[in-house]
Amino acid sequence: MTSTEPIRVVVWGENRHEQVNPVVRGIYPDGMHNTIADGIADLLGGEVTVSTRVLDEPEHGMTEETLAATDVLLWWGHTAHEEVSDEVVDRIQRHVLEGMGIIVLHSGHHSKIFRRLMGTTCSLRWRNDGDSELVWTIAPRHPITEGVPQPIVIPGQEMYGEFFDIPEPDELVFISSFSGGEVFRSGVTYRRGYGRVFYFSPGDEVYPVYHHPDVQRVIANGVQWARPERARESYLVTPMYLTGEFDRPVLTSPDGLVDYYTREPITPREP
């Protein structure tokens, strides 16, 4: 059932903190997106091809061509969500609905694309004060949790706490606690259209979280989980079906009924 073609992974990074904050640059000298990409490539090897895109590329690197050739997109943004154009957000959403997997990381909870897919504010409580985070597995046989300890221990992290304003997840995979006492649904999955969505919260820019082997393992597992299992497919957008003709979508047109795919006129079949 599973394809043997490599999973085409694209890691999108905002790549702004790295330019202005020496702490972040010290931790991620090649940019966070490259560290995330390297972690995936190291763990999954020939099972994937991994590339990166950043905000400041034309169309933010998210061209139709790139997205059409992407199986799983990872998204890390924080300070510049509003700079992402609505047209690009529309395009990414369409690809997710048609089957592309997407993994949204940490502060990406507030990105336009995540809020678009969720329909909510995706707001949360926070504190950036070096809390330690424990990431507990709630779904012990979920593929995303394979090979990670119970719990994952992250020595320093930004606190993200409840209430996290998201729709009820399809699957709750991880819950984190912080040394300050807060809790957070730190790993949640959704289906949207034909695509799979995984949000995973560890990963503030001022801590070396994406160098953490267990975090890398979760992300690599997420890539395997989010990959589309079938070919990308455009939606049948509200097609009409004649009675008893379950397999022939049609459209109404000024010239009468036409075939959904060919736009040629059709006639009802004999019963």
Binding to its own copies (CB under 8 A) within 48-77 occurs at none
Instruction: Tell whether residue 248 is a contact of its own copies (CB under 8 A).
Output: no
Contact 52, 14 (CB under 8 A): no
Contact 173, 142 (CB under 8 A): yes
Closest approach, Cβ 8 to its own copies, in A, equals 18
Instruction: Tell whether residue 238 is a contact of its own copies (CB under 8 A).
Output: yes
Count of chain residues binding its own copies (CB under 8 A): 76
Closest approach, Cβ 109 to its own copies, in A, equals 9
CA nearest to 7, candidates 69, 75, 92: 69
How far apart (Å, rounded) are the C-alpha atoms in residues 148 and 137?
Answer: 9
Instruction: Tell whether residue 170 is a contact of its own copies (CB under 8 A).
Output: yes
Closest approach, Cβ 115 to its own copies, in A, equals 9
Count of beta carbons in the 10 Å neighbourhood of residue 132 = 14
CA nearest to 139, candidates 159, 104, 169, 109: 169
Within 78-97, the residues that bind its own copies by CB under 8 A are 93, 97
| Cβ-based nearer residue to its own copies, 2 or 262 | 2
Closest approach, Cβ 241 to its own copies, in A, equals 5
The token pair that represents 259 in the structure block: 């075939």
What Rg do the C-alpha atoms of the chain give, in angstroms? 21
| Cβ-based nearer residue to its own copies, 12 or 164 | 164
Binding mask 176-205 toward its own copies (x if CB under 8 A, else -) reads xxxxxxxx-x----xxxxxx----------
The token pair that represents 145 in the structure block: 């949790």
Instruction: Tell whether residue 5 is a contact of its own copies (CB under 8 A).
Output: no
How far apart (Å, rounded) are the C-alpha atoms in residues 103 and 125?
Answer: 21
How distant, in Å, are the alpha carbons of 166, 245, 248, 259 from that of 268? 45, 9, 10, 11
Closest approach, Cβ 162 to its own copies, in A, equals 5
Contact 74, 101 (CB under 8 A): no
| Cβ-based nearer residue to its own copies, 36 or 124 | 124
Within 106-145, the residues that bind its own copies by CB under 8 A are 110, 116-121, 123-127, 129, 131, 134, 136-141, 143
| Cβ-based nearer residue to its own copies, 238 or 262 | 238
Closest approach, Cβ 245 to its own copies, in A, equals 9
DSSP character string of 212-247? -HHHHHHHHHHHHHHS-SS-------S-B--TT-TT
Closest approach, Cβ 140 to its own copies, in A, equals 5
Instruction: Tell whether residue 149 is a contact of its own copies (CB under 8 A).
Output: yes
Stretch that binds its own copies, among 22-30, 50-58, 75-83, 167-175 (CB under 8 A): 167-175
